[in-house]
Structures are given as structure tokens and as C-alpha cells.
Structure 1
Amino acid sequence: MVTGYAIEARGLRKSYGDVDVLEEVNLQVERGKVFALLGPNGAGKTTTVRILTTLLQADSGTVSINGYDTKQQTHAVRAQIGLTGQETGVDELLTARENLEMMARLFKLDKAAARTRAEQLIIQFDLAEAADRPVKTYSGGMRRRLDLAISLITEPPVLFLDEPTTGLDPRSRTQMWEAIRELLDAGTTILLTTQYLEEADQLADRIAVIDHGRVVAEGTAGDLKRQVGTERLKLTYADEAVATRAHRLIGGVLSDPSVVSVAVDGPAQVRKLLNEVADAGLDPLEISLSQPTLDDVFNALTGNTAGAQR
């Protein structure tokens, strides 16, 4: 039954009353790859994940996970997937070991198998020293690692991570990235949503940018960066009003209240833009030229700043 893509969604639509949350979303995720969904608040990322993981029905469209249809073969789909949501799903009064063994038993492992699997995951996610302490004493990073461990009890071939590192400090985020890379090396297919553009750049083989319920761009990080120009000219101003005037004159994006960022293709265009702002008396304090980032992609495609993502 395992054919085609690990995750395939066609024509997904979802509305709540008069509000269209998803409009014709199409996704294809190759096996053993990391696919990232980026988008601003309310773009439809979490709704998409909930539909893909059988927690929500789409109004129309189809989804298959490893060849199984989410509507017609729901139980088979659930046997293929694991999910780590935005909110922690652990019992804070129990220890990590107790949480893991309890969930393993709910997945119908016998007592001995549940103990063995819990111990494997405790070691894999570096929780040995705290395994017998109540989860309420854990740091945010430890809780997220435990969340991820729980989603892997049945060793699912497809894993959904909905903003797995939100709120973590840089060290904990790096540890989560290492855990995700290990899962990828083991052949797991991963779809993640993230509010960190650097995270998508670091981890994802392909990225889809979703805005107002539609996929507005898809490709590798390099593909998406090339869509906004080969380089970015950034003009920094001391005054926001002057920056706004420059933005109206030459276009681009106000990536910061006082910074105008414009896609450029070669020295001739750079000279032209600089001459335009100089002729208008809008000389910047600082001029820089850089390769485009996913931040630039996000701004250009959605009209939002990266910090607005959810």
C-alpha cells in the first residue's frame, strides 16, 4: 500500500461560516524528507496539520498518508503517523518514565514492552538524569523533548511537528534540531510548521509559504530566495518618515520601520536605485548588499514580518 508520496493533499478547503481558512491547498511530501510550512498568523498552517493528521475534516479535498486515505482508512493512517502539537501533551504530575510507559500501554504494548520502549526513548532524548522526576520540574526544552519522545512510541514513519521549538532557548532549540536530524537520518518523513525562518532554512528540504489559506510559493530554500532577486539592497535611515518616502519611491519592503529592502539583479540596478534616492534627497545613513534570506522571502510573499508568524 506504500506508494507515491508519504504525504499528499489535493484541493483542501475549510471554512468556518463565512471565513475561508483554507482555499485549494495542495501539498506533496517525499518520503524521508523534511517539509516546512511557513505563514503568518491565521494563514492556515495549524488547520492544515489538523486535517492531515485526521483531527479535523476538510470541507473538500483528499489526503493520503503513505497511500492510505484519511477519510476512508482513518485507523490505518493513524498507525502511520505521530504528532507533536503546539501545546505540551504530558501529565506534569507524572515522571517522564511514567508518561512514556502509560502512553505505550495505551498503544497496546504489554508491560514489559512498554518499559523497554520507554527506556529506549529516555536514552535517545537525553532524559535519563530526570526520568524519575515529576515533569512539572522540567525546563521547557526537556518538556518538548519528552513530547517528541511520546509521539515516537510506535516509531511512526511520518511525523508532524507543529511549532516544535516555540519558546525554547537557543541551546534547547539546537538540541531539538539535532533530534529532528537524527529522525531524518533514520528515514522518518517530517512535516513541520515553524515561526522561526532560520529553523526552516536549517532543516527543511522543501518549504511551502502559506498565506490567506493558499500556498503562495513552494520550493527549496534556494528556490524561494531566488524568487525575490539574486541580492537585496538595504537602505537604513535615521527617520521612519524618510524611509517610508524612499520605500514609496523605489518599492521593495519596509523590513524594519527605518530599513528599505529591495531585490536587485546586478550592479546596474543598484546604481539606478541609488541615483533615484539621491536625486530625491533621500540619502540613507547606511547602504548594504546581501544575499536574500527566508526573511526577505516571507516579507515579499506575504507582506508580513517574520515575527508575525504562527
Structure 2
Amino acid sequence: MTRPEILVLGSVNRDLIVHAPRLPLPGETLRGQRFGSCLGGKGANQAVAAARLGARVALAARVGLLENGAAMVAQLAGEGVDTRAIVQPADEVPGVALIVVGAEDAENQIVTVAGSNGTLPLEQVEALRLDGLLWLVAQQELPLQSIARAFQRARAAGVKTALNAAPFRAGSESLLPLVDLLVVNSLEAQALVTTLGGAAAEPVVLAQTLRAKGPAAVLVSLGADGLCWVDADGPRHVAARSVKAVDTVGAGDTLVGALITALAEGQPIANALAFAQAAAALAVSRAGVQDAMPRREEVELLLAQNN
């Protein structure tokens, strides 16, 4: 089997998704419109997004075999994700995410239970093969010490590191000196800056503040307002594509998977950002999480239509 160029170190969940007229208020019970279950987790989502776009990608994860965990791993393999670095303990339960999507604005609320994601040990990180990799990508649904050790090993091996600092967790600021590319939304960016002692600020200022802590580049996603990118060449804003938002769950993961795919291919930054924006736009225009993630030809067609 061909060695991957991208390794995603991340979570695998079973997503339980309820669609409702809108997001419920605290203490309120709403009658839902429909319910579905699918493979999810930020690690799995980003790996699948990259694989669908043509990347050679592997996923390192811990997926308990209880509650049908083996089927989750099989589904990942069916998407073209290299699953050889997934450990499957027989006595653990996979992670679970409870998701509510509001029909009025397609916004969502998510509660996760770590399950086997929360037990990923340093021993598994030490066993990871890094030869041939261009990028190691992580999120924050795993133990932070495991992410830190993976980034240390990647740096020593000359592999670039990308952190999607989501969901925000206290202590994640300690990872910043080990990060080449930081991807956050505006709320996560503000939370990180606040943890570092900073004040509320505009996204470009937040990105510049975070970049000063170690990352070579910072991307702050702004939803319908596009994204803010800051690197050594300064800040740039990329407007969002005009689409009818149907479901925003998984849009951020699609953005990350697409961006890393483009960067691994050596695309210039402007092209890589446009590629990632197009992939995310297609994802939010459809219902579902991984079901909504586009294929390579769809993204290229959308890009061609706007050239």
C-alpha cells in the first residue's frame, strides 16, 4: 500500500443528529423534524474530506469495538482512508456526538462524549510511522499530551504540523509553539487569545496575536463572512462563496481537509484557500456531515465556473 502524505491524528465518533425547527432554548423541549446517525468525529471527518479530494491520507485513532466500532473503521477504509494506525480496543466504547441542527439558520449545537478517543495513549503516538509524511493534522478531541508528543515527533522528522484547535480546551495554548498552521473559528480564536491574557479584538488581530505564539500561519474561519489568513506576508481576507446554507455541521472539517490537501499538493496559498472555500461551500449547501463532503471533480467544477 502506498504510504500516505497526510496523517490525521484525531477522533472517531458516532454522530446522532436531530433536525429541529430551530435550536432549543435552555430548558425547552422541541419536537424534532427528523433523526439520523452517521460516522463522525473531527479526525474522521477531516480524513474523509481529504480522501474524497484525492489526498493520500491515513487516520491514527482509537476506536472501541463496543457499540459496533468495527463497522466505523470499515466505513473509513471504504472511503479510501488508510486505517492501519487505528487501534481497536475490545473493551471500550467509541466516541459519541449529539447534534441538533436548526432549520431556521442551519446553525448547530453539539455535545460530545469522548469514549475511546479520550484514552489514546502516548504509546500509540510513539508507534506512529512518520516517514514520507508532509503533514500531521490534529484537533482537540484527544488527550492534549498525546497531541503534543505527536507534534514533537513530527517536528523532529521534518513533518509540518496543523492544529484545528476545536473544540476549545483550556491548556491548548501550550501546543502553539509546536504548530506550523493553526485553524480556528472566531470564537476559538478569541478563547485562545483570552487564555493568553489578550482582550477581545477583530479576527485579523486575533490571528496576528496567535501567530506571534508560534504558528507560521493562522486561519480564522468566519462562516458567511469568509476567512482571515495571516502568515509572514501579512493578512488577507477571502470572501465566502454565496450559497444557500442547508447544514453547517462538518463544514469546518471539510475546510481543513481541503486546505491540507491543497497545501500537500504544493498549491500556492491563494489557490489553496480558494480550493478550501469552494469545498466548504459545497458542504454547507447539502444536508449531512460526511455525506455532504464533495468529491474533487465537484470542487474543480465550482472553481472553473468562477474563473
| TM-score range normalised by the length of the shorter chain | under 0.3
Q: Which has the larger radius of gyration?
A: 1
TM-score of the superposed pair, with normalisation by structure 1? 0.27
Higher relative contact order (CA 8 A, sep 6+): 1
TM-score of the superposed pair, with normalisation by structure 2? 0.28
